[in-house]
Structure 1
């Protein structure tokens, strides 16, 4: 089964062009699923059944896994069986007609404009690391890019004269996003006074570097944003994705059209972007309830 999983992941990488993070997720799901099958005495994938898929999902549910996790696992299992049928490893797909668990759409947590300003003003700009942190936070809020896209930026991906950043999103899709004047100013300051003191190798192309002169990691940035959220006295549980959510919500609240926000976020389907319209409606109701004398 391990060989089939490896072949499946290779297929997703080459034929579908999925990102390394997505491939890792598929592999993790399939390793866990096939381990369950082996615990049930199934040593060949062609001997697995619909009942065993249901049993596996029920086991995850009993362990307290979220509905979204169950749904993602079922999607991975379906994709695996579809691949096996396609390449004639098996004759029938046992996952056909299994219903996807209904996921409750949770509204993403967003920061107020005032909270964002406190967060962005937190990094000191008197050190190379502080300049880097300030530039990263400003760029993240200015563009709404994913944290993986942020840390993977090269110096050549940012055009400060024209005012845009180029990033590679999910499925290796490139998109161009405009930069605001504050983000341009901070990235320029970082490139002039911060990055030259962090870089160790002349040929390094990564835009944002850690103290070793290497490309900063997602985990490294996670720690950075947590530290500055605490410094800014932000009580909301914050992740790097919080600024992406805030970016989209604040744009829509100020009159941006949904299609433009969809394009900037890199969503393939506009229904994914529409959740932010629910956020803005929810915030409007909250403001009304707090401010109207007869609410």
Structure 2
């Protein structure tokens, strides 16, 4: 996409720059989200201007700025993506990005109307990740605690981050962004900065507290350097731990649990949400804990087991017994 962006006409390139500033300064999106949105818009404008057209069957109109961008162009762009073998998930994401961009351009007076408002794209297939059974999660934490028993700094860190991921259900990026003063041990809550720079407080239990204290008091000093700053979790060189390191730690730890499906931090997040629901938590509470903007996201992200539904039926229905 860098090549396509560099080849855009000056008017289109200026629009991309302006849009990126809007996403960063006005909407406060994460770097990852901004890259995805901007990449999709660059793909769209590349198609519009005949630069690196992906999967296009016909020659797109050569224009400057947004001249000629209408719903027909949007549909042709997506059709080209589909012909190129893009997945339904990718098509749905790119259609959403196009709608956001065209709405912004219309508000800024760059488009006389908003063609994205008439764009319909296929719904993405939402495949839920595998989850651990509660006993498997317990085995995972016991294995981490056993490894940390010798007091080696990396083992103490790995145990603490496993406990925190499962106890709180926070995202891996949120975990890596934690600072020392984000943890309130007295109330056993952690302050998390989530998507859109939205802050929330998430509780954690005694096992996570013990693992976290052991890491801070007995493990972190062994990895800390002058450049560590206030980062809660550190890498082996003393810098803030990288999400890739956390993913590797989780994958390797889950491999040691008999019968557990391979998963990363997202699987622990989903496991935490599922176990909260199975324990009787309501969806809105889980939504708050996970930091979802809408309840619909939580409903898609979590599932309730048949066993829990049967238990509720047995307990509440007058003809259950």
Scaled by the length of structure 1, what TM-score is found? 0.89
Kindly tell me the number of residue pairs found equivalent between the two proteins: 286
Cα–Cα, structure 1 residues 53 and 190, in superposed 2: closer, same or farther, change >3 Å?
A: same
- The whole-number CA distance in structure 1 between the counterparts of 2:294 and 2:46 is 34
Structure 1 position 42 matched with structure 2 position 73: no
Name the residue aligned to 2:27. 16
How far residue 239 of structure 1 moved from its aligned partner, in angstroms, is 2.1
Structure 1 position 69 matched with structure 2 position 94: no
- The whole-number CA distance in structure 2 between the counterparts of 1:13 and 1:183 is 34
Cα–Cα, structure 1 residues 283 and 146, in superposed 2: closer, same or farther, change >3 Å?
A: farther
- The whole-number CA distance in structure 2 between the counterparts of 1:33 and 1:119 is 45
- The whole-number CA distance in structure 2 between the counterparts of 1:120 and 1:28 is 39
Larger radius of gyration: 2
- In the TM superposition, 1:136-147 aligns within 5 A as 136-147=161-172
- The whole-number CA distance in structure 1 between the counterparts of 2:61 and 2:268 is 47
Deviates more, 1:126-135 or 1:47-56: 47-56
Structure 1 position 194 matched with structure 2 position 219: yes
How far residue 87 of structure 1 moved from its aligned partner, in angstroms, is 1.3
Name the residue aligned to 1:280. 304
Residue 37 of structure 2, aligned match among 6, 26, 43: 26
Deviates more, 1:262-271 or 1:44-53: 44-53
Tell me how large the CA RMSD over aligned residues is.
Answer: 2.2
1:247-294, Cα deviation, whole Å (9 max, x unpaired) = 1110110111222111111112112222356x223565899xxxxxxx
- The whole-number CA distance in structure 1 between the counterparts of 2:284 and 2:200 is 14
Asked if 2 retains the 8 angstrom alpha-carbon contact of 1:42 and 1:48, the reply is no
Name the residue aligned to 2:254. 229
Deviates more, 1:141-150 or 1:118-127: 118-127
Asked if 1 retains the 8 angstrom alpha-carbon contact of 2:169 and 2:270, the reply is yes
Residue 134 of structure 1, aligned match among 153, 159, 162: 159
The secondary structure found in structure 2 opposite 1:206 is: coil
- The whole-number CA distance in structure 1 between the counterparts of 2:35 and 2:139 is 35
Scaled by the length of structure 2, what TM-score is found? 0.82
The secondary structure found in structure 2 opposite 1:175 is: strand
1:66-102, Cα deviation, whole Å (9 max, x unpaired) = 3222111111111111111111122232323111322
Q: Structure 1 segments of 4 or more deviating over 6 A?
A: none
Cα–Cα, structure 1 residues 179 and 53, in superposed 2: closer, same or farther, change >3 Å?
A: same
Give the number of the structure with larger relative contact order, counting CA–CA contacts within 8 Å between residues 6 or more apart: 1
Residue 179 of structure 1, aligned match among 204, 207, 216: 204
Gaps of 5+ in 2: 1-11, 51-59, 312-321
Gaps of 5+ in 1: 288-295
Structure 1 position 85 matched with structure 2 position 110: no
Name the residue aligned to 1:262. 287
